[in-house]
Amino acid sequence: MSDAISALQGRTTSGEVTIREAGLCGMITLRGDLSNTKLRAICKKITGQSFPAKGKISATGAVGLGWMSPDEILLLLPYEEVTEALAQIDAALAGQHYLAENVSDARALIHVEGGFAREVLAKLTPADLHPARFGPGDLRRSHLGQVAAAFWMTQPDHFTVICFRSVADYAHELLVASAKAGPVGAL
């Protein structure tokens, strides 16, 4: 069996805003009734995070729970823990209507960090990123340029973007170009 590698193998572009691929990350898409107490309990057991409200993410470091849609939650965890986490989900939700899928190798995570990281993203998405509308703990599904993406803010001036692995290079280079152009209104 070959060794797993991330989409961009940790590619980093540094500057006033740093664009950095996160490397291998464990990701599980879990679809089901998000009000189900067993589903919520297993998500908390696996990640240690509180269950997020609509449009939110609960995350600490590489571990988290992100609300993706009315029937979908994204579990973030170390890459090597995904198989065991899926087994725990299967055991906890046996007999229930749900779908749990390992999407770790189908997605890429890219960090956007620095003084005008918000503006780097705002130039590429139609989502409202005004500080009064989008802050730490917020998550949006939208697009960057021509590709589907979701992103969240973990702390001021630090965003994480998730996209399909197949468009990771495009997304990374789009973010780099936006960062190189500088903040909005700068001469």
pLDDT number for residue 187: 44
Contact 47, 64 (CB under 8 A): yes
Exposure b/e, 2-15, CB count within 10 A at least 16 = b: eeeebbbeebebee
What pTM was estimated for this model as a whole? 0.93
Q: Which two tokens stand for residue 88?
A: 């725990």
Q: What is the mean pLDDT of residues 40-68?
A: 97
Residue 14: pLDDT above 50? yes
Kindly state whether residues 82 and 113 are assigned to the same domain.
Answer: no
Residue 1: pLDDT above 70? no
| Percentage of residues in the chain having pLDDT higher than 90 | 89
pLDDT number for residue 143: 95
pLDDT number for residue 81: 98
Work out how many domains the chain is built from and give that number. Answer: 2
**Domain holding 121: CATH number?**
3.30.1360.120
Kindly state whether residues 52 and 31 are assigned to the same domain.
Answer: yes
**Domain holding 69: CATH number?**
3.30.70.1520
Residue 178: pLDDT above 80? yes
What does the pLDDT look like over 87-132, one tens digit per residue?
999 999 999 999 999 999 999 999 999 999 999 999 999 999 999 9
What does the pLDDT look like over 131-152, one tens digit per residue?
999 999 999 999 999 999 999 9
Q: Which range marks the domain in which residue 49 is found?
A: 26-102
Residue 186: pLDDT above 60? no
